[in-house]
Structure 1
Amino acid sequence: MKNYFQASPENPYHISIGAVIFNEDKTKILCHFIEKYKEYENLYLLMRETMQPNETIENTLKRGTLEEFGAIVEIDRFLGSIVAKDDWFGETGKKVEVEKTTLYFECFLVNQEDSNRVDDGTIESKSELVWLAPNVLIERMETFFQRYRINNLNEVGIIKRILQ
């Protein structure tokens, strides 16, 4: 079945669900750390999962946290969204401007085991999982964004909303 939520050269729009996962005392956030990918270095990402047809937002979030982080979470609240436009080359190698909308939710960790992660060949499945204080994560994400200017990877605004 075609995934109409996944961007393609014919349909340059994409929907993902994101999670900000806190530890028990809400002092640290679980994120991906990717030291090197193509020309990019020191990338920090929250969990973001592409929706599948006929899948609820909640199911996408829970599937994504389990696949990417090996985590079971409970959703606390909706945090808003990021809509970003970036160039995407995809499998065709042809440049297409994609509009990506990611809906973010604050979550609390119930359980996490690395052995539950799914290796689907994506960079996220090969990432190192790290817990960082929100202000440290913001600083590192801002440094990455200043260097590479990839709009859909700039999740600083979502994290700042939680701190307000």
Structure 2
Amino acid sequence: MVQKWGARKISDNHPCEILADLYSISEKKEKYKELVYTFVGPAGNISRSWTNIANIMNLEFNHVCLAGNELAEHSHNYKFHTELEIVLKKSDVILTDSLPNQFRTEEYINKYQITLERMKLTKKHSILNPCPPFFRNEEVSEDVISSDYFVGHEFKKNLVYVQQAIILYCLFN
């Protein structure tokens, strides 16, 4: 198992990051399995990892981006959308990742950037969890990062604990 784990390329998947995020969310939201998770951005390691964990843990997961970025077939655990505002109204947790160069266009950013106004469309007590490094005024706006929706940089403190737990599990099981 350790060899398989270590052999995974983080450009394809990022399991520790997502497990740490989910653990951090569970600390803030007791019924974290009942929340609606929405990833906004192109297909990549973070969106792929969220798709995987949604399937494994039976989470309701939305993926919003331009057509052609679909990662799976439509199911309870994965729904692909191209219209952001409609999906935000059903969302508790908004997730993003850094944008690849081809998505750093005015057209894409205008359509999919998470702003304070867009976060106000989400469910009450929703949170924004952008995966670092995130870039203000690209995938997220300056005002939303300064808002109470943003989980903060402390959210990532659990990453090292999750990695340690995985190592201990692998060594002693």
TM-score of the pair, normalised by structure 1:
0.25
Structure with the higher fraction of residues in helix conformation: 2
TM-score, scaled to structure 2: 0.24
